[in-house]
């Protein structure tokens, strides 16, 4: 870690620790509910708007997964916490370990933010993280470039860390052990320093042998934060986030011919007749010394100045630095009669992002009408360097990297890569360096035309300058190129509140994304010449509470269209153009019901129709009508939680359903639909809770995401497991 690059500017957050008392009923889910009933800190979000609108006032589908829900659902990682969100599927493979699919779009088309700030496309920067350091997760559906910049076509997700509290001291600790020799521990402390200052420190560690052979994992996260009231009107928040992870990577399980499989599983259907053999399902064909590792540090400083009762000025300064390294055999393809042909990949990242955001907000009256207004400017500069080596796929390389299907000798990356002949050929050994300065201007306004009717509008203008240098180490060729983009993002919406329990909304939004995978950091010279892909969404919805607040529900209907995606020219298939189109439409319903004080029932369901409307690939093959990869047409979740009277005992169960998905654009490999069930029992013990949880109770074998090679591998989900956790608060 190049910590010498780290400046001494830090930022922190601002809400108290969420918890619920032993005699309280199980927590209701925060889907989109009346702010009067929302848990502390969740009635407004940094993701839905910069105007501090409540969830009911926001003309969009915004879902908040708060701290209480994270704990009651037993989510150990951010990925697990997201799997319960409405219409969301979550997965990834070792090279991009945290990916989300939302409203028909996935990977680089769903943005990740941390405390309201974006680093890069999540396929490059997102890492597996323990939930311990986080207070809540905010999920905004549909195009979200207004808040997060380019790439947010399917939605944006904001991970909010725990915040210092000047009001009271608090401490907490967690220890957990479970299947596959999985250990978790967490510790957090919040201390006021006089009346004007507070400091918070949170640390988490997670390690596991993994449910896949030779797949050890380790994750560490440290968050330091302070808040200081410098004067009555000026507050300074500082934070530093340190993250480290190291994984012996699992790249996916290979498909084999059905005739060879002694115990074929029903997890996958393939047009070529290949299946997952249960005997080989959890075998890892990566090299013995495989590694995926990352270290990062992120420092932020936010100054908030109350200029006047109605006016607030904020400035946030940040610096992010990360080093990533992986050395693996990623592609595992079956070859007759009983072999696996692999590749060899080595990649390093040196990634820095400097940013500064200044905004001015107003909350008052305009011509007698209530108004909130925010305008700001943002500057960021990304520097990204990568060294990349790939085996060339030739006969000699394949022979050196091939292993037996049943009795493999995996080999060492160092020993195999010493054979320089593996990497011959143009493009197989190269260095890239990228610089991306970006200037953004944005404004938002909410105007209450009446006490019931609100108009919300926003506009963002970005100027993105891409500069790239590449060096091919095999051919000696060096190139430099650049491109400038000027994307504009828009949102116009309205909310009508019939009363405090019922509101309806409508909105239209637009967004943009780099062509291809949505990843600006690796955009080639040819693809950089194209205009950005452009997406629009129209959405209507209802948010309502019934029966005195015992029932809350939201209903949303939407349609998204994305133009300018990469395709081949219909008349000249060797020519790449950006004439492709992709669309999705769907309905999402989420509801929470508390029939008695002891019982809460929560659920959601999403139905989606997504497809490529126009897409031609090599060989003049049309993919029109095909479902985009890793997108499920149907998803659903159900939770039942019960607090036992007269006993310090809570019990519950959860059911998750994920519909069929495909690994590739051709839809030749189908990951079949699956359902999993979890159960738990939690006993109040001393100052904390002791919880026993069983996951995937039915031991279902299922494919969760496409593997490193989308045409031959799938990532399998975890089998049945159990863990025991003690969480104490002091």
Mean pLDDT of 414-425: 92
In a domain, 40, yes or no: no
Residue 586, SS3 per DSSP: strand
In a domain, 285, yes or no: yes
Predicted pLDDT at 105: 94
* The most confident of 2-11, 58-67, 583-592, by mean pLDDT: 583-592
Mean pLDDT of 610-621: 93
In a domain, 420, yes or no: yes
- The dihedral of CA 137, 140, 145, 150: what is its sign? positive
Bond into 337 cis (ω within 30): yes
pLDDT digits (tens, 9 = 90+) for 671-727: 999 999 999 999 999 999 999 999 999 999 999 999 999 999 999 999 999 999 999
Predicted pLDDT at 43: 61
Structurally, how many domains does the chain consist of?
A: 1
In a domain, 123, yes or no: no
pLDDT digits (tens, 9 = 90+) for 211-250: 999 999 999 999 999 999 999 999 999 999 999 999 998 9
- The dihedral of CA 565, 571, 573, 577: what is its sign? negative
| pLDDT of 30 above 90 | no
Instruction: pLDDT band for 5, please (50, 70, 90 cuts).
Output: very low
Mean pLDDT of 567-583: 86
Predicted pLDDT at 42: 41
**Domain span holding position 202:** 170-729
Helices and strands (H and E) in the chain: how many = 7, 44
Q: Within 10 A of 255 (CB to CB), how many other CB atoms are there?
A: 28
Predicted pLDDT at 46: 67
CATH code for position 435: 2.40.170.20
pTM of the prediction?
A: 0.92
In a domain, 146, yes or no: no
Instruction: pLDDT band for 29, please (50, 70, 90 cuts).
Output: very low
| pLDDT of 41 above 80 | no
Q: Evaluate whether 154 touches 140 at the Cβ level (below 8 Å).
A: no
pLDDT digits (tens, 9 = 90+) for 159-215: 999 999 999 999 999 999 999 999 999 999 999 999 999 999 999 999 999 999 999
Mean pLDDT across the chain, nearest whole number?
91
Instruction: pLDDT band for 107, please (50, 70, 90 cuts).
Output: confident
> For residues 143 and 517, which has the higher predicted lDDT (pLDDT)?
143
| pLDDT of 401 above 80 | yes
In a domain, 195, yes or no: yes
Per-residue CA distances from 159 to 64, 104, 230, 444 (Å) = 10, 22, 27, 22
pLDDT digits (tens, 9 = 90+) for 279-303: 999 999 999 999 899 999 999 999 9
Q: How far is CA 307 from the centre of its chain?
A: 36
pLDDT digits (tens, 9 = 90+) for 637-658: 999 999 999 999 999 999 999 9
In a domain, 11, yes or no: no
Predicted pLDDT at 95: 80
Q: Within 10 A of 23 (CB to CB), how many other CB atoms are there?
A: 8
| pLDDT of 328 above 60 | yes
Strand partners, 294: 245, 324
Exposure string over 363-395, b if 16+ CB within 10 A, otherwise e: beeeeeeebbbbbbebebebebebbbbbbbeee
In a domain, 452, yes or no: yes
């Amino acid at each position: 870690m190049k910590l010498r690059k780290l400046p001494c500017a830090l930022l922190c957050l601002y809400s108290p620790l969420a918890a619920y008392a032993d005699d309280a009923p199980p927590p209701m889910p925060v889907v989109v509910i009346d702010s009067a009933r929302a848990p502390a800190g969740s009635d407004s979000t940094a993701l839905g708007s910069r105007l501090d609108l409540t969830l009911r006032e926001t003309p969009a589908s915004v879902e908040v997964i708060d701290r209480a829900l994270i704990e009651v659902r037993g989510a150990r990682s951010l990925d697990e916490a997201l799997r319960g969100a409405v219409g969301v599927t979550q997965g990834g493979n070792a090279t991009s370990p945290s990916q989300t699919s939302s409203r028909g779009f996935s990977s680089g088309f769903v943005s990740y933010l941390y405390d309201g700030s974006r680093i890069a496309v999540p396929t490059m920067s997102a890492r597996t993280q323990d939930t311990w350091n986080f207070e809540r997760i905010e999920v905004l559906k549909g195009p979200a470039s207004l808040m997060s910049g380019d790439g947010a076509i399917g939605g944006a997700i904001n991970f909010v860390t725990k915040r210092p509290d000047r009001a009271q001291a608090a401490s907490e600790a967690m220890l957990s052990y479970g299947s596959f020799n999985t250990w978790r521990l967490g510790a957090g402390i919040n201390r006021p320093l006089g009346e004007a200052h507070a400091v918070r420190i949170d640390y988490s560690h997670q390690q596991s042998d993994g449910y896949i052979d030779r797949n050890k994992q380790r994750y560490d996260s440290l968050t330091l934060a302070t808040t200081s009231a410098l004067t009555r009107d000026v507050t300074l928040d500082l934070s530093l986030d340190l993250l480290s992870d190291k994984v012996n990577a699992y790249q996916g399980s290979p498909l084999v011919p059905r005739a060879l499989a002694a115990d074929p599983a029903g997890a996958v259907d393939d047009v070529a007749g290949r299946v997952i053999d249960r005997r080989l399902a959890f075998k890892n064909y990566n090299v013995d010394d495989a590694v995926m590792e990352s270290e990062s540090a992120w420092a932020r400083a936010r100054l908030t100045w109350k200029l006047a009762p109605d006016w607030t000025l904020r400035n946030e300064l940040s610096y992010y630095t990360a080093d990533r390294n992986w050395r693996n055999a990623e592609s595992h393809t079956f070859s007759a009669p009983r072999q696996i042909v692999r590749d060899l990949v080595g990649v390093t990242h040196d990634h820095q992002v400097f940013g500064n955001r200044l905004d001015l907000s107003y909350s008052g009256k305009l011509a007698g009408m209530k108004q909130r207004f925010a305008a700001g400017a943002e500057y960021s500069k990304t520097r990204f360097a990568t060294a990349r080596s790939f085996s060339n796929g030739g006969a000699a390389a394949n022979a050196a990297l091939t292993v037996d299907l049943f009795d493999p000798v995996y080999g060492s990356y160092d020993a195999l890569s010493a054979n320089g002949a593996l990497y011959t050929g143009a493009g197989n050994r190269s260095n890239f360096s990228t610089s991306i300065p970006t200037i953004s201007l944005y404004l938002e306004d909410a105007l209450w035309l009446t006490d019931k009717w609100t108009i919300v509008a926003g506009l963002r203008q970005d100027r993105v300058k891409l500069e790239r240098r590449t060096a091919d180490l095999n051919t000696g060729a060096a190139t430099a190129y650049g491109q400038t983009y000027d994307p504009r993002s828009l949102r116009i919406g309205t909310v009508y509140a019939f009363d405090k329990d019922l509101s309806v909304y409508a909105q239209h939004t637009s967004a943009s994304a780099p062509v291809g995978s949505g990843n600006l950091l690796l955009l080639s010279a040819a693809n950089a010449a194209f205009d950005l892909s452009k997406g629009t969404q129209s959405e209507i919805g209802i948010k309502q509470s019934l029966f005195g607040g015992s029932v809350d529900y939201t209903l949303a209907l939407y349609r998204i269209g994305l133009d300018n995606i990469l395709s081949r020219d219909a008349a000249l298939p060797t020519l790449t153009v950006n004439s492709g189109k992709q669309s999705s439409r769907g309905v999402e319903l989420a509801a929470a019901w508390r029939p008695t004080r002891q019982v809460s029932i929560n659920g959601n369901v999403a139905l989606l129709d997504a497809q490529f409307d126009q897409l031609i690939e090599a060989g003049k093959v049309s993919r029109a009508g095909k479902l985009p990869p890793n997108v499920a047409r149907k998803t659903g979740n159900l939770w039942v939680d019960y607090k036992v009277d007269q006993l310090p005992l809570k019990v519950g169960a959860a059911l998750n359903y994920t519909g069929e998905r495909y690994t590739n654009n051709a839809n030749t490999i189908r990951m079949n639909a699956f359902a999993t069930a979890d159960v738990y029992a939690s006993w109040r013990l001393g100052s904390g809770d002791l919880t026993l949880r069983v996951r995937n109770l039915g031991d279902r074998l299922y494919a969760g995401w496409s593997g490193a090679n989308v045409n031959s591998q799938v990532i399998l989900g975890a089998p049945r497991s159990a863990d025991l956790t003690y969480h104490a608060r002091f």
